[in-house]
Amino acid sequence: MRSDLTDPSCNPLHLGLAFLERWRVYEASVYMAWGDGRLDPAEVTAARAIVHELDLELEGLSPGSLLRVGPPVLADIGLGRLDERGRHLAYATAAWVALCDQREHPAERAILTTLAHRMGLDPGTAFLLETSARLVCAHASTEPRAQYRALLQAVADLFPPSSAPPGGSQRAA
């Protein structure tokens, strides 16, 4: 795991998240990828970028097998156990996956609404995170790993660890 925060190749958020929290972010993204009932090639590529950028392949598990077997059960992901940064990252990542194929299916919109509710994100916070994902996706010609790194940076810039998010955010009970 990289530890030098001044290294521009380091991901700004995953350094503050434990492996299990990063895994939950990935599970939420797989749930979203299957949201419209099928896996688009862009969603598979996005999942690979997430695995790489969150260093999940270094932990000896097979993230690809989770993607192939289908969506996890939402209640089993443990979104309520994510800390605030984990919830922000999980939501932004799910929004990015929903948009990475350049179209948002109505089922994906419903999943974003459900995720925001389950994670206790207020509408303003959800909007900021979705806007970040949309801006990243607007650069469709950019390689997915670079897009995801840009999303990580955007979330880190919006919600630094020592500050409260704009509009507040509360965890659902």
Q: What is the predicted pLDDT for the residue at 75? A: 79
- Listed as ranges, residues in the chain with pLDDT below 50 are 1-12, 59, 164-173
Please answer whether residues 54 and 14 qualify as being in contact, where contact means their C-beta atoms are separated by less than 8 angstroms: yes
* Backbone phi, psi, residue 106, to 5°: -55, -35
Largest Cα separation within the chain, whole Å, is: 41
Please answer whether residues 142 and 50 qualify as being in contact, where contact means their C-beta atoms are separated by less than 8 angstroms: no
- Domains of the chain, start order: 19-158 (1.10.3680)
For the chain, what is the total number of helices (H) and then of strands (E)? 7, 0
Q: What is the predicted pLDDT for the residue at 80? A: 86
Please answer whether residues 80 and 73 qualify as being in contact, where contact means their C-beta atoms are separated by less than 8 angstroms: no
Q: What is the predicted pLDDT for the residue at 12? A: 47
pLDDT tens digits for range 89-114: 999 999 999 998 887 889 999 999 99
How many Å apart are CA 140 and CA 136, to the nearest integer? 8
Q: What is the predicted pLDDT for the residue at 65? A: 66
